[in-house]
C-alpha cells in the first residue's frame, strides 16, 4: 500500500482530501477570507456575529479574541495530534480551546476593561464557537502544524472581515458614528433599531444576500464565459 | 500505534485499534493539569492589572459624584455605624464602603455611596454623591448596567437626565414631563422603568444609610 493511499484512508470521516491536487500555503491562508469564509459562506459563529457587532470597537475586540483562540488552538491541536487518542479527541480540543478562552478573557479584562464589560458573556462563549472546534476537527487535527496555523490565520481574518462588515453598518446607521467618531453631525437621528438585536438580524440578512448575489453573478459570468469560449471554438 | 513508526510524513494519524483506558486517563489528566497550571499563571499575571483598573474606575467615579473633592476617605459600614478603620479580622474589601469627600478647606463636602438593584434588563450599579447636612444629592453616575441600548441606557448617556441629580433633594420622586420641585426627577420617555430603578436605588440606599451618614457627620463636626 502506498503512502498516498494510507493517507487517504486516514482522512476518511473528516475534511475532504482531494487526490492529485496540490494545496499551496497561499490557498490554505486565503480560502478563509472569502471562498470558505467562516461566517459569510459556512454560516458558522453566527451567535457572536449577531450579538456583539453593535459597534466597530466591540467587533474588533471580539474578532481579535477569537483570532487569538483560533490560532493558538490550531497550533496546539496540530502539534499534539499524535499524542491524543481518537477517543478523547473532542474533549482534548475543548480543553485546549477553553484554556485559551480563559486566558483571552483575563487578558481583555486587564487591558481593555471597558470593552470587556461591553462584550459581557460573549468572550467566555468563544469556547462554543463552531468556527474554532470546526477548524480543529476538520483541519488542525489532520494537517501539519504550518498548514494548520495558516488555515487558522485565514479563518480568523475571515471572521474579522465579517464582524467588521456587520459592525460598521450597524454602528454607522444605529449610532451615526464610526469607532465613536460622529459622522453626520447632530442633525442625524440614529436608527436605534440597528444597534438592537433586530438590527443584527436585518444586517446579517442583507450582508448574506449581497454575498450570495455577488457569488451568483460571478458564477453566471464564469458560465457565460465558458459558453462563449465553446462557441468560439466551434466557430473556429 | 502503527502510524508513528512508518509515517513521518505529515498526515492524519490513524486511530489505534484499541486504546487502554489508562492512556485516555493519562492524556486527559496531564492535559487538565497543564491547562490548570496555565490558567493559574494567567490569573496571577492579570489580577493586579484587573484590580487596578477597577480601583481606578471607582476612584474616578467617586471624584465625579463628589464634584472633584480635594481628597476623600474610605469609611466602612460596620454594625450600623461608620468607622474609619475596618475591625480587626475582617477583610476590608468585603465590607460595605462609603467615601467621604473633603473640600480644599478641609470641611466635608459629602458622601459617595455605591448601590445596586434590579433595573429593566439586569442589575444596575450606580454611585451617587450625597450631602448629608442639606440632604441633597451632589451627582449620580451609573457604574454598570445592561439597559436597552438607545432607550434604557440613556440613564447613563443622557446628560440632561444625569444632570438633574446634582442638587436634587432626597427623597427623590420620579415625574413624567417637566420637574417642578427640587426633589423631582424628570424620567426619560421610553425608559420609565430604568429611570424609576435609578430613583428607587438611590432612595432605598438613603433610607438604609442616610441616618448613619448624618450621624457620622454630626459626630465628626469637630474633626478636620
Tally of domains within chain B: 1
Residue B42 located in a structural domain = no
Mean pLDDT is lowest, of A73-82, B9-18, B80-89, for B9-18
Question: Is B12 at the interface with chain A, CB within 8 A?
Answer: yes
CA–CA distances in Å: residue B60 to residues B56, B67, B76, B94, B202: 6, 10, 19, 20, 19
Residue A2 located in a structural domain = no
Residue B196 located in a structural domain = yes
Query: Which residue's C-alpha cell is 495558516?
Result: A150
> Nearest Cβ partner of B150 from A91, A106, A192?
A192
Q: Is the pLDDT of residue B37 over 60?
A: yes
For testing the chain B interface, which of A72, A99, A104, A121 should be mutated: the one with the most B CBs within 10 Å?
Answer: A99
* Angstroms from A88 CA to nearest CA on chain B: 7
- Band of pLDDT at residue B179, cut at 50, 70 and 90: confident
Instruction: Round to whole Å and give the CA distance between A194 and B142.
Output: 24
What's the alpha-carbon Rg for chain B, to the nearest Å? 27
Residue A47 located in a structural domain = yes
* Angstroms from B171 CA to nearest CA on chain A: 31
- Band of pLDDT at residue A3, cut at 50, 70 and 90: very low
A95 vs B32: CB contact, 8 Å cut-off? yes
Q: Higher pLDDT residue, A134 or B83?
A: A134
CA–CA distances in Å: residue A96 to residues A100, A144, A206, B33, B59: 6, 18, 35, 12, 38
Residue B172 located in a structural domain = yes
For testing the chain B interface, which of A14, A103, A107 should be mutated: the one with the most B CBs within 10 Å?
Answer: A103
Please name every residue paired with B98 in a beta bridge, in sequence order, or none if there are none.
B75, B113
Q: Higher pLDDT residue, A34 or B116?
A: B116
Cell reading at A196: 438592537
- Band of pLDDT at residue A205, cut at 50, 70 and 90: very high
Range of the domain at A222: 23-179+189-235
A106 vs B43: CB contact, 8 Å cut-off? yes
- 3-state DSSP call for residue B137? strand
Tally of domains within chain A: 1
Question: What φ, ψ does residue A135 adopt, rounded to 5°?
Answer: -65, -35
* Angstroms from A82 CA to nearest CA on chain B: 6
Classify residue A37 as left (phi > 0), alpha (psi -120 to 50) or beta.
beta
Residue A32 located in a structural domain = yes
Residue B180 located in a structural domain = yes
Residue A14 located in a structural domain = no
pLDDT of residue B14: 59
Residue B7 located in a structural domain = no
Residue B93 located in a structural domain = yes
Residue A150 located in a structural domain = yes
The DSSP line for A94-156 is HHHHHHHHHHHHHHHHHH-HHHHHHHGGGTGGGGG-HHHHHHHHHTGGGS-HHHHHHHHHHHH
Which chain B residues are Cβ-neighbours of A92 within 8 angstroms? Answer: 27-28, 31
Range of the domain at B191: 49-219
- Band of pLDDT at residue B7, cut at 50, 70 and 90: very low
Residue A5 located in a structural domain = no
> Nearest Cβ partner of B150 from A11, A99, A196?
A196
Question: Is B81 at the interface with chain A, CB within 8 A?
Answer: no
Residue A12 located in a structural domain = no
- Band of pLDDT at residue B16, cut at 50, 70 and 90: low
* Angstroms from A156 CA to nearest CA on chain B: 23
Query: Which residue's C-alpha cell is 475534511?
Result: A15
Amino acid at each position: 500500500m502506498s503512502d498516498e493511499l494510507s493517507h487517504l484512508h486516514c482522512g476518511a470521516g473528516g475534511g475532504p482530501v482531494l487526490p492529485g491536487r496540490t494545496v499551496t500555503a497561499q490557498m490554505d491562508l486565503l480560502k478563509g477570507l472569502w471562498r470558505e469564509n467562516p461566517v459569510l459562506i459556512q454560516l458558522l459563529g453566527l451567535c457572536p456575529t449577531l450579538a456583539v457587532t453593535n459597534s466597530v470597537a466591540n467587533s474588533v475586540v471580539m474578532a481579535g479574541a477569537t483570532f487569538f483562540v483560533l490560532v493558538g488552538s490550531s497550533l496546539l491541536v496540530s502539534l499534539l495530534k499524535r499524542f491524543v487518542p481518537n477517543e478523547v479527541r473532542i474533549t482534548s480540543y475543548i480543553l485546549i480551546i477553553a484554556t485559551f478562552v480563559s486566558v483571552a478573557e483575563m487578558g481583555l479584562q486587564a487591558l481593555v476593561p471597558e470593552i470587556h464589560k461591553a462584550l459581557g458573556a460573549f468572550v467566555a462563549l468563544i469556547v462554543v464557537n463552531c468556527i474554532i472546534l470546526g477548524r480543529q476537527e476538520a483541519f488542525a487535527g489532520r494537517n501539519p502544524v504550518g498548514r494548520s496555523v495558516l488555515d487558522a490565520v485565514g479563518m480568523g481574518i475571515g471572521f474579522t472581515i465579517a464582524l467588521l462588515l456587520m459592525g460598521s453598518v450597524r454602528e454607522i446607521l444605529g449610532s451615526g458614528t464610526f469607532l465613536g467618531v460622529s459622522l453626520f453631525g447632530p442633525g442625524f437621528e440614529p436608527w436605534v433599531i440597528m444597534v438592537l438585536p433586530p438590527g443584527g438580524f436585518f444586517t446579517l440578512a442583507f450582508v448574506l444576500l449581497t454575498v450570495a448575489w455577488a457569488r451568483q453573478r460571478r458564477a453566471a459570468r464564469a458560465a457565460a464565459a465558458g459558453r462563449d469560449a465553446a462557441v468560439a471554438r466551434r466557430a473556429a | 500505534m502503527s502510524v508513528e513508526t512508518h509515517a513521518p510524513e505529515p498526515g492524519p494519524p490513524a486511530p489505534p485499534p484499541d486504546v487502554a483506558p489508562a492512556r485516555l486517563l493519562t492524556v486527559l489528566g496531564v492535559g487538565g493539569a497543564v491547562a490548570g497550571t496555565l490558567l493559574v499563571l494567567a490569573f496571577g499575571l492579570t489580577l493586579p492589572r484587573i484590580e487596578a483598573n477597577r480601583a481606578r474606575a471607582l476612584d474616578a467615579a467617586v471624584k465625579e459624584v463628589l464634584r472633584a473633592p480635594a481628597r476623600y476617605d474610605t469609611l466602612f459600614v460596620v454594625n450600623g455605624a461608620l468607622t474609619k478603620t475596618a475591625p480587626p479580622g475582617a477583610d476590608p474589601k468585603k465590607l460595605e464602603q462609603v467615601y467621604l469627600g473633603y473640600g480644599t478647606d478641609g470641611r466635608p463636602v459629602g458622601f459617595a455611596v455605591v448601590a445596586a438593584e434590579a433595573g429593566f434588563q439586569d442589575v444596575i450599579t450606580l454611585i451617587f454623591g450625597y450631602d448629608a447636612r442639606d440632604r441633597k444629592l451632589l451627582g449620580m453616575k451609573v457604574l454598570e448596567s445592561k439597559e436597552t441600548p438607545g432607550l434604557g441606557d440613556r440613564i447613563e448617556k443622557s446628560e440632561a437626565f444625569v444632570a438633574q441629580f446634582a442638587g436634587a433633594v432626597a427623597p427623590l420622586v420620579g415625574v413624567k414631563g417637566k420637574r417642578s420641585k427640587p426633589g423631582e426627577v424628570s424620567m426619560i420617555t421610553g425608559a420609565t422603568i430604568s429611570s424609576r430603578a435609578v430613583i428607587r436605588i438611590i432612595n432605598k440606599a438613603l433610607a438604609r444609610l442616610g441616618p448613619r451618614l448624618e450621624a457620622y457627620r454630626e459626630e465628626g463636626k469637630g474633626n478636620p
